[in-house]
Amino acid sequence: MDLEYKEEDLRFRAEVQAFFRENLPKELSDKVRARRHLKREDAVRWHKILAKKGWIAPGWPRQYGGTGWSAMQRHIWAEEYALAYAPPTLSFGLNLLAPVLLGFASEEQKQHYLPRIYDAEDWWCQGYSEPGAGSDLASLKTRAVRQGDHYIVDGQKTWTTLGQHADMIFCLVRTSAQGPRQQGISFLLIDMKTPGITVRPIITLDEAHEVNEVFFDNVKVPVANLIGEENKGWTYAKYLLGHERTGIAAIGNSKRELKVLKRRAAKARVDGKPLLQEPQFAARVADVEIELMALEMTALGLVADGARSKIGPEASLLKIEGTQISQEISQLQLESAGPTGLAFDPAYLDGRTEHAVNGDDDAAPLAAHYFNLRKITIFGGSNEVQRNVISKMILGL
C-alpha cells in the first residue's frame, strides 16, 4: 500500500480539520479532553451534527448513507476524530448492528432499521454476555421459544453497556438445544419497551453507571425481528464481533493518548530532570510507540487489501495489540502523574465540581481511566480467546 499522502489526501485532512473546528461544540470536546462522563444528550447531539453533514456512517454503502471514502480517507478521518477530542459515536447501532443488517437482514428490515440508526431515532445496546456466558458465548442460556408469529424470550444478559439509554437491543438467544451449541442460536432484535424487560444498573468502582443487567421475563418478540435464519445466529454473531474487535483497536485514540503521555512526562520531574528523559521510562514510551506504529501499518495493510469487508481472524490480531497498547499508555500516563494521579474524584468526573480535589485537573481522571481500560482485554472476546482463534485459523495449530 502506498502510504504517502497525496495532494487530495492533504486537502481532505484540511477539510476534516475545518469541520471539527467549526462544528464540534467546545463543551463536548472539553468533556472528552477532561475524561468526564458524557450524558445521553451529549452523544445524540454530536451524532445528529455528523448525520446532518453526511459523515456519521463512513463504513456504510453509499446507497444507505455511507461516504464512499477511500481507505486512506477513513484513516485520516479516524485520526483527526481522535485528535479533535470528539465524543464517541453510537457504536452499537452504527458499527456493530449495521454491518449485520447489511450482510444478512431482509431488504424490508434494512429499510426500516438503517435510517433509524442513521438519524439516532433508536439507541441500541448489545445482548451478548450472560452471567455464565462471557468469553464462551456458545454456552448462553437465554431462551426464545417460538409460539406462532412470536418468540417468548426468558433469560438474563449482563455487562450491557449503556443499556439504561437503549430503545432497542440486539440479542443472541437459544432457539434449539439440538446438535452442537453453536447451531442452536438465533439473532433477535428486541424493543426495550416490551413488557417483561427489566434493566438493573451495575455501578462500577468509579461510581459510573456504564453497564447493566437486563432480565427477560416472558418477553414477546415478533418473528419478523429475527435476522437471517433461525439457529444460524452464531454466524452473524461472529461477523459482528469481527467488526467490534477491529474497532476496539482504537489506533487513533492511542496516537492521541501517546501525545498526552509525552506532554505529561516532559513536564513531570525526576531528580530535577524531565521524566521523559529518564532512561527506563523513555524506553517504555519508545517501545509502546513502536508497537503502535506497527499496529497502524498492519491495520492499513488489511484495509488496503480489502480485508475489512470480509473481516476474519485478522481482527483478533488488531484487538489483542490495540488493547494492550491502550493499557500500556494509560499505565504510563498514571505513573507520570505520581501521587496526584491516585485521588478518587467522582464529583469532578461527573462535572459536579469545576476542579479536581487534588488541584491537578489533568491528573484527576487518570486512575479511573486506567482501571476502566482493564476491561478492554476481556470484552469483545478475551485476548486469550483471540490467541486461540489465531492459532487455529491462521497458524493451523
CATH code (residue 365): 1.20.140.10
367 and 275 within one domain: yes
End residue of a domain, out of 231, 256, 289? 231
Distance (Å, rounded) from C-alpha 369 to C-alpha 69? 32
Q: What is the mean pLDDT of the chain?
A: 91
Task: Answer whether residue 53 is part of any domain.
Answer: yes
pLDDT value of position 181: 86
Task: Answer whether residue 110 is part of any domain.
Answer: no
Domain count, the chain: 3
Task: Answer whether residue 105 is part of any domain.
Answer: no
Helix ranges restricted to H, 61-171: 71-83, 91, 98-104, 107-118
More confident site: 117 or 350: 117
Helix ranges restricted to H, 165-313: 233-248, 251-267, 279-304
User: What is the reported pTM?
Assistant: 0.86
223 and 257 within one domain: no
Distance (Å, rounded) from C-alpha 319 to C-alpha 252? 14
244 forms beta bridges with: none
Min mean pLDDT across 59-73, 207-221, 271-285, 371-385 is at 371-385
> 234-265: b or e for each residue (b if 16 or more CB lie within 10 Å)?
bbbbbbbbbbbbbbbbbbbbbbbbbeebeebb
Distance (Å, rounded) from C-alpha 126 to C-alpha 112? 19
What is the span of the domain harbouring residue 163?
A: 123-231
Report the pLDDT averaged over residues 183-195.
97
Distance (Å, rounded) from C-alpha 193 to C-alpha 308? 35
Q: Which three cell numbers stand for residue 217?
A: 421475563
Q: How far is CA 56 from the centre of its chain?
A: 15
For the chain, where are the E strands, in sequence order?
Answer: 124-127, 143-147, 150-157, 168-174, 185-191, 197-203, 209-222, 226-227, 269-270, 273-274
194 and 286 within one domain: no
263 and 225 within one domain: no
Distance (Å, rounded) from C-alpha 324 to C-alpha 197? 36
221 and 280 within one domain: no
* Band of residue 313 on the pLDDT scale cut at 50, 70, 90: confident
148 and 84 within one domain: no
**Residue 3 predicted with pLDDT over 70:** no
- The phi and psi torsions of 122 (rounded to 5 degrees) equal -120, 130
Q: 325, 254 in Cβ contact below 8 A?
A: yes
Q: Domain holding 184: CATH number?
A: 2.40.110.10
286 and 379 within one domain: yes
pLDDT digits (tens, 9 = 90+) for 315-330: 888 889 999 999 999 9
Q: Which three cell numbers stand for residue 194?
A: 416490551
Distance (Å, rounded) from C-alpha 161 to C-alpha 211? 4
**Residue 1 predicted with pLDDT over 60:** no
Going from the C-alpha of 346 to that of each of 94, 156, 356, the distances in angstroms are 30, 29, 9
Report the pLDDT averaged over residues 165-183.
93
Task: Answer whether residue 385 is part of any domain.
Answer: yes
Q: 106, 95 in Cβ contact below 8 A?
A: no
260 and 220 within one domain: no
Indicate the SS3 state at residue 388. Answer: helix
